[in-house]
């Protein structure tokens, strides 16, 4: 199964390092980040889970809940967390799913046979409170993810969900945004009272409306 943007993220029940969870119940009204790693006790994955733990406060202030997954068993996850905390100077408190039968991996298309028939690739899904898939990113096993980019995308998704704006290339929270084509130029002053610039008729910018 290949999930696409706008698809409903499948619900599931799974064993995790914090106990058994129902995915939808765990998320509640929060945003979610679900990401997979190829195997426990591997170097790149150790740094990724450590980075995620160190960014716990950043995810929390954005109302985002994080879950990791691999097809290794629960006892390996629990043992590995000790190594992650020690080497990455963090405290892993988010759940790591033990997907031994590959149920979740198959639901989310995390196994790419041409890369590996047994291990999950580095898939990452951002899921909105409506349980719709908002973003997917897939990295090869050899390349660690950029979690600052994940936070940047979440900022953009949460902003553009509330306002008729889009974010330009390399945008960061607090910078000017683009007024979408759905807003007539004549309505911009009323809808975006902080001011605007008309660079081209199709390219209109305004200060970030929620700052």
- Residues with a catalytic annotation lie at 45
| Nearest-angstrom CA–CA distance, 99 and 20 | 12
Burial class (CB in 10 A: 0-12, 13-18, 19+), 37: buried
Tokens read off for 145 = 């993810």
Q: Which residue has the tokens 């199709």?
A: 202
Closest CA to 69 of 26, 20, 27, 102: 102
Query: What is the C-alpha end-to-end distance of the chain, expressed in Å?
Result: 39
| Nearest-angstrom CA–CA distance, 196 and 14 | 48
CB within 8 Å of 204: residues ≥ 6 apart: 178, 179, 185, 188, 196, 197, 198
Count the neighbouring beta carbons within 10 Å of the beta carbon of residue 163. 17
């Amino acid at each position: 199964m290949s999930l696409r943007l706008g698809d409903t993220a499948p619900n599931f029940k799974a064993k995790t390092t914090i106990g058994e969870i129902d995915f939808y119940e765990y998320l509640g009204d929060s945003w979610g980040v679900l990401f997979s790693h190829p195997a426990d006790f591997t170097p790149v994955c150790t740094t990724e889970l450590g980075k995620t733990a160190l960014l716990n406060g950043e995810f929390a202030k954005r109302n985002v809940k994080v879950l990791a997954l691999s097809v290794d068993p629960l006892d390996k996850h629990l043992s590995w967390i000790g190594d992650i905390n020690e080497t990455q100077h963090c405290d892993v408190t988010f759940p790591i799913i033990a997907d031994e039968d590959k149920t979740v991996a198959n639901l989310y298309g995390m196994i790419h046979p041409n890369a590996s028939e047994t291990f999950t690739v580095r898939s990452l899904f951002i899921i909105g409170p409506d349980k719709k898939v908002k973003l997917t990113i897939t990295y090869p096993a050899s390349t660690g993810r950029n979690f600052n980019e994940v936070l940047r995308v979440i900022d953009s998704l949460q902003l553009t969900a509330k306002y008729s704006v889009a974010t330009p290339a390399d945008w960061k929270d607090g910078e000017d945004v683009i007024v979408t084509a759905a807003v007539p130029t004549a309505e911009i002053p009323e809808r975006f009272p902080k001011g605007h610039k008309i660079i081209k008729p199709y390219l209109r910018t305004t200060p970030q409306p929620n700052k």
